[in-house]
Amino acid sequence: MKRVFIHTFGCQMNVNDTMRMSEALASMKYSPTPVAENADLIILNTCSIREKAEDKMLSALGRYRQVKLQRGALIGVGGCVAQQEKNRILEKVPYVDFVFGPDAIQKLPEILQRVEADRVRVVETAWVDSESYVFPRADPSTSRGKATEFVTVMKGCDNVCSFCVVPHTRGREVSRPFTDVLTEVASLTTVGVREVTLVGQNVNSYLGGISFAQLLLRTAEVPGIERVRFTTSHPHDLSDELVEAFRLQPKIMGHFHLPVQSGSDQVLVRMRRDYTVVEYLERLAKLRAARPTIAVTTDIIVGFPGETDEDFEKTYALTEQVRYAGQFSFVYSPRPKTGAAMREAEWGSVPHEVKVARLEKLNALQKRISSELNAQQVGKTVQVLVEGSSRTDATRRFGRTEHNTTVNFDGDAPIGALVQVQLASSSAASLSGKQVSIESMPSVLIPEVAAVPEVCLT
Ligand code: SF4
């Protein structure tokens, strides 16, 4: 058996792709290792959403060069940077053996055979036509040991947000037939999975034979599934039907990630986001009417070209008004071939120090709001799905609330149990408490030592 180490950068789509890579490589007798120095094959599953992610990839490649020199390990680069920058990677990093795009994951065995047999550098970044694209079917055995799992429902994006590289790296939207999604969800329950997160770049424009709202409702009805989540969504596709699904089905967890990106209409127009702040708030109001306790999180870009102090203050005020449970905020960085990168000179760059100061101010606000929202939970008893031992204290248990908030607690329930936890303290990032009862046990006993492929997130 040979060993593969996969270093995953970026989002949950990439985490999911890493799982599919591990499965494809199992047919070549590669098993996952969490230690790069032990690997015969190192793959970097890259992200190009921000410039920093690319820099991190290059610095990781520098570190893995030693493993190549010492063990002769093969090195491959996959994911979004590979799709967009294949020539630059091959030129800049002569010890990379192969480069493959997101559509070529299933071709990994074939790519490796060519690299090993012919000793050539291989590039495989062709798009698969939407009509012929086949989603890799997950092997449920690789999810053994997990109470919660991702399920891909679509790939690509048909929007043209001017800052975003995804349409260039992941191609057009393709939805996975709903029957395939439901079959995969059912197969995951046989190894103990009780919660699934349906993932795609813009899941609420799903067109796999039924609407996304119907897909959520059908997923919640799969025997053995207790919780359903999804990510990520574009506000203009947040339909009334989806809002209604939150009213109808309590197994759809009360957390909605709804990226707003900016609180200024002028900036939203330049971003090509296709909604105004008022429209965004109207959709949010409907959602909160359907599920009053819902936790809303968001993405915000600070320092987009042309963003004035006044524009930024509107984003700041919106954060205060919505009281997000959390947000992923980043300073704008131009990405290749995007509309914003091409028009930055015309719209006006925001100086780096201004961007950083705005980001720090926004992060401080969000930290205060998250702390306040979590503090309001203290004293309450909430449902938690047990995912394993606490990462900060192995004698404690770890899981998440319906709002997707991390909870560390004293208790003894096994992975996959749904427990009631009384909350005693909080921080901006997590909650802490003690187990007071076990609501339901998993139908499959899940081993404590996870047997899933190791993922190294950066
Ligand atoms: S909706 Fe916009 S930000 Fe999201 S993936 Fe598509 S183009 Fe990128």
Contact call for residues 196 and 218 (beta carbons, < 8 A):
no
Please tell me if the CB atom of residue 201 comes closer than 6 angstroms to any atom of ligand 1.
yes
CA distance 91 to 142: 35
Residue nearest to ligand 1 atom 2, measured at CA: 161
Q: Ligand 1 atom 8: the closest Cα is on which residue?
A: 164
Residue 166, ligand 1, Cβ within 6 A? yes
Please say whether the beta carbons of 259 and 232 come within 8 A.
yes
Q: How far is the CA of 52 from the centre of ligand 1 (A)?
A: 18
In this prediction, residue 453 has a pLDDT band, given cuts at 50, 70 and 90, of: very low
Please work out whether the CB of residue 83 comes within 6 Å of at least one atom of ligand 1. Answer: no
Rounded Cα gap, residues 299 and 5, in angstroms: 30
Q: What is the pLDDT of residues 62-113, one digit of tens each?
A: 999 999 999 999 999 999 889 888 888 999 899 999 999 988 998 999 999 9
What is the helix (H) or strand (E) element at residue 80, kind and residue range? helix 79-92
- Quick check: CB of 202 below 6 Å from ligand 1? yes
Grade residue 449 by pLDDT with cuts at 50, 70 and 90. Answer: low
Instruction: Work out the pLDDT band at 53, boundaries 50, 70, 90.
Output: confident
Task: Please name every residue paired with 8 in a beta bridge, in sequence order, or none if there are none.
Answer: 45, 457
Atom of ligand 1 nearest to the CA of 170: 5
State yes or no: pLDDT of 452 exceeds 60: no
Question: Could you please report the per-residue DSSP string of 354-391?
Answer: HHHHHHHHHHHHHHHHHHHHHHTTTT-EEEEEEEEE-S
CA of 197 to the centre of ligand 1 (A): 19
**233: Cβ below 6 Å to ligand 1?**
no
Please state, in angstroms and rounded to a whole number, the distance separating the CA atoms of residues 92 and 58.
9
Give residue 209 CA to ligand 1 midpoint distance, Å: 22
Q: Which of 415, 401, 420 is nearest to 450 (CA)?
A: 415
Ligand 1 centre distance from Cα of residue 166 (Å): 6
Q: Is the CB of 228 under 6 A from ligand 1?
A: no
Residue the block writes with tokens 């949950």: 12
* Contact between residue 303 and residue 362 where contact means Cβ atoms under 8 Å apart: no
| DSSP reduced 3-state for 14 | helix
Are the C-beta atoms of 168 and 177 separated by less than 8 Å? no
Average pLDDT, the chain: 92
Question: Does residue 203's CB lie within 6 angstroms of at least one atom of ligand 1?
Answer: no
Angle at 167 between CA 164 and CA 168, to 5 degrees: 95
Burial (CB count <10 Å: 0-12, 13-18, 19+), residue 348: exposed
430 burial (CB, 10 Å; 0-12 / 13-18 / 19+) is: middle
Residue 191 has pLDDT above 60, yes or no: yes
| Nearest atom, ligand 1, residue 234 CA | 1
Mean pLDDT of 280-306: 97
| Distance (Å) from CA 58 to ligand 1 centroid | 25
In this predicted structure, what is the pLDDT of residue 320? 98
**Ligand 1 atom, smallest distance to 167 CA:** 7
Q: From residue 236, how far is each of 111, 210, 289, 435 by CA, in Å?
A: 39, 19, 18, 40
Which secondary structure element, helix H or strand E, spans residue 91, and what is its range?
helix 79-92
Q: Kindly state the tokens that stand for 377.
A: 């939970």
Ligand 1 pocket: which of 12, 48, 158, 164 to mutate (most atoms <8 Å of CB)?
164
Segment 392-427, tens digit of pLDDT: 899 999 999 999 999 999 999 999 999 999 999 999
Cα separations in angstroms, 367 against 329, 363, 371, 386: 12, 6, 6, 26
Q: 13, 159, 260, 299: which to mutate for ligand 1, most atoms within 8 A of CB?
A: 159
Task: Say how many Å lie between the CA of residue 239 and the centre of ligand 1.
Answer: 17
Q: What is the pLDDT of residue 444?
A: 82
C-beta of 159 in contact with ligand 1 (< 6 A): yes
Q: What mean pLDDT comes out for the span 218-224? A: 98
Of the listed ranges 54-68, 122-136, 166-180, 260-274, the least confidently predicted one is 122-136
Looking at the whole model, is its pTM more than 0.75? yes
Distance CA 204, CA 155 (A): 12
447 CA to centre of ligand 1 in angstroms? 38
Cis peptide before 142 (omega within 30 of 0): no
How does pLDDT run across 194-211, given as a tens digit for each residue?
Answer: 999 999 989 989 999 999
